[in-house]
Amino acid sequence: MIRLLVIFLATTNVFMLLYAPQPLLPLFAEQFGITISTASLLISVTIMVLALSSFLLAPWFDRWKRKQVILISSALLVFPSLLLAVSDSFPLVLFWRAVYGLFIPGVTAVIIAYSSEEFPASKRGRVLGIYVSANVMGGSLGRVIAGPIAEAFSWHAVFIVVAAFSALVCLLVWWFLPSSRNQTAKDVQGFAVHFRNKAMLGTFFIGFSQFFAFIGFFTYLPFYAAKAPFHLSVTQISLLYGTYLFGVFSAPLAGYFSDRIGRRRAMAIGHLIGATGILITLLPSLTSLIIGASLLALGNFASQSATTAYVTDIAASSRGAASSLYLVFFYVGGSLGAYIPGLLWNRLAWNGLVSVTVFTIVLALVSNYALAGKTPTHRRSSIV
């Protein structure tokens, strides 16, 4: 139980610091005199560096001891938070946000591999559902606390709080996370083997598509909610991210049911729920916005839970590398989702965002049908 709690808190920490600035983007745009698409770089640059470092480190994650990588990475994440708290220019803030991306994969990718190895295969969906639930909790907590702290003190204070939590998590990993007992010693196959697996490639693209839609929606939500007909304050916009909490419940439940009905069915159900939520927000009312955001969170994290487990199911070897590569595609999708809709915003605004994000979810469904099922025959019966 204590092991699951530490995994949950270490993951929560990563996603809290990753997404805390999101509701503050209009504030940064106003304070630094920058455009909406430029302000969104505070999210997209972090995610892009995260994707790049995941790719570069993928061959090494199976050669290093899991606990040490998680511990060192958690400790290194404290420093950019402290330096963000004393930064006073947009280029400097952007630089330290990029530094986060160098260290996050040492937690995210390695915890996925650790969880898939240290718990029974029959419980893998549930355990990785808890990992995704922590993803939800961190993203929700970071966004919800950022607005009130920034309004009460300043946006600098947000990063002081994040640094303190990161330091606490580092100590908990050091004291309470057991060392790996089932890690394959120095797996040298690296990541090349996964590019020859059609099912894995299809699953990578599903991760890309679903995170593009999700991050695109929630990155531009503050700009939409701050204008007519809503006119919400920074704190009120932060509270909209409380809809994330639906994912806290949907992720472990989806993991549980995907152990029974199959990963790909669970993914598809989640995608359909998420797309429905996005479409509902075309109705210009606060109620529709809340319901739509809630359904998107519920569906996205349900599908993400099943997808994360599916990656470890179909990886015959090098699970650390497989997890890293999945996160590369996942975060490249998120990075582009945070940036590309901004290029369309002046002309198409929210209607354009809805069209683009629903289209990428449709692409995820196509990839699920056309590629993700092409697993080797001897592995197919237990994971479809």
Nearest to 162 by CA among 57, 13, 312, 42: 13
In this predicted model, what pLDDT tens digit does every residue of 250-291 receive, in sequence order?
888 888 888 888 888 999 999 999 999 999 999 999 999 999
Query: Tell me, what's the pLDDT at 377?
Result: 46
In this predicted model, what pLDDT tens digit does every residue of 43-53 receive, in sequence order?
889 988 988 89
Confidence of residue 59 (pLDDT cuts 50, 70, 90): confident
Which of 197-201, 229-233, 354-358 has the lowest average pLDDT?
197-201
Tell me how crowded residue 151 is: count the other CB atoms within 10 A of its CB: 15
Query: Tell me, what's the pLDDT at 130?
Result: 86
In the chain, what percentage of residues exceed pLDDT 70?
92
Q: What is the mean pLDDT of residues 334-359?
A: 90
Mean pLDDT of the chain: 87
The answer on pLDDT for 378 being more than 80 is no
Query: Tell me, what's the pLDDT at 138?
Result: 92
For tokens 């697996």, the residue is: 197
Query: Tell me, what's the pLDDT at 187?
Result: 53
Q: What is the pTM of this model?
A: 0.76
Using an 8 Å Cβ cutoff, are 367 and 205 in contact? yes
Give Cβ neighbours of residue 86 (< 8 Å, ≥ 6 apart).
156
Determine the Cα–Cα distance for residues 326 and 311; give it in Å rounded to an integer.
7
Confidence of residue 303 (pLDDT cuts 50, 70, 90): very high
The answer on pLDDT for 58 being more than 90 is no
In this predicted model, what pLDDT tens digit does every residue of 161-201 receive, in sequence order?
999 999 999 999 999 999 888 766 555 555 667 777 788 88
Nearest to 129 by CA among 49, 248, 44, 235: 248
Query: Tell me, what's the pLDDT at 382?
Result: 42
